């Protein structure tokens, strides 16, 4: 069975010191690097998602409720949107950027970044993805092109973008598992409920 590791939003703004930092986010970045090194033969592909906001409307707020609205974060082309420096991006095969003009929690709402920006990290793209006559490749498109049947998720944050990506992966028909020690949530209680929800939905929790 062809297997892909999906790294969800391991970005500077979602780690300590970022505009929307999650406790333990930097440790997740470093631990994921170790995991990919130690388990390099386990995955056929490694892909990553990025929040990549241009003008996401009410998703950004000066008075956020931390449920549907949030402080400004991961603005396209800024340092905060880059992958955390402790995440080893060398082995990433493709990056999918989401949320240019909407909230877009799920990686399956993202479209493939240009090949010359994979791995990302330099401020090469200062706004929306470039206009093209070619159809934009989604995460689902890419996984199907590469005959992936099983996806393993890790990253940030458990109770938001990891949750949405996992549920969409299930709906799309993939076998889905979650590396629970390599993800962190925003709210501890919501995170615990999310893990129960994902397990009940059919996600295998790898502890």
What residues act catalytically? Answer: 9, 98, 161
The Cα 13–Cα 188 span in angstroms is 19
Q: Quick one: how many helices (H) and strands (E) in the chain?
A: 4, 7
The Cα 81–Cα 9 span in angstroms is 9
Instruction: Give, in order, the Cα–Cα distances in Å from 185 to each of 3, 12, 18, 148.
Output: 24, 15, 15, 27
The Cα 178–Cα 41 span in angstroms is 18
Phi, psi of 149 (to 5 degrees): -115, -25
In terms of Cβ atoms closer than 10 Å to its own Cβ (0-12, 13-18, 19+), residue 27 is: middle
């Amino acid at each position: 069975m062809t297997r892909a590791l999906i790294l969800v939003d391991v970005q500077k703004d979602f780690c300590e010191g970022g505009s929307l930092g999650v406790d333990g986010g930097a440790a997740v970045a470093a631990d994921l690097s170790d995991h990919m090194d130690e388990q390099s033969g386990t995955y056929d592909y490694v892909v990553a998602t990025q929040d990549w906001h241009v003008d996401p409307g009410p998703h950004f707020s000066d008075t956020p409720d931390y449920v549907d609205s949030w402080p400004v974060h991961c603005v396209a082309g800024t340092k905060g949107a880059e992958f955390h420096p402790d995440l080893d991006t060398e082995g990433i095969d493709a990056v999918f950027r989401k949320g240019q003009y909407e909230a877009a929690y799920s990686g399956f709402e993202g479209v493939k970044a240009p090949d010359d920006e994979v791995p990302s990290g330099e401020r090469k793209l200062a706004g929306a993805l470039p206009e093209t006559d070619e159809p934009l490749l989604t995460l689902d498109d890419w996984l199907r092109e590469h005959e992936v049947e099983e996806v393993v998720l890790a990253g940030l944050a458990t109770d938001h973008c990891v949750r949405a990506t996992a549920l969409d992966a299930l709906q799309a028909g993939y076998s889905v598992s979650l590396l629970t020690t390599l993800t962190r949530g925003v709210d501890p209680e919501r995170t615990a409920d999310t893990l129960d929800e994902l397990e009940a939905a059919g996600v295998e929790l790898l502890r």
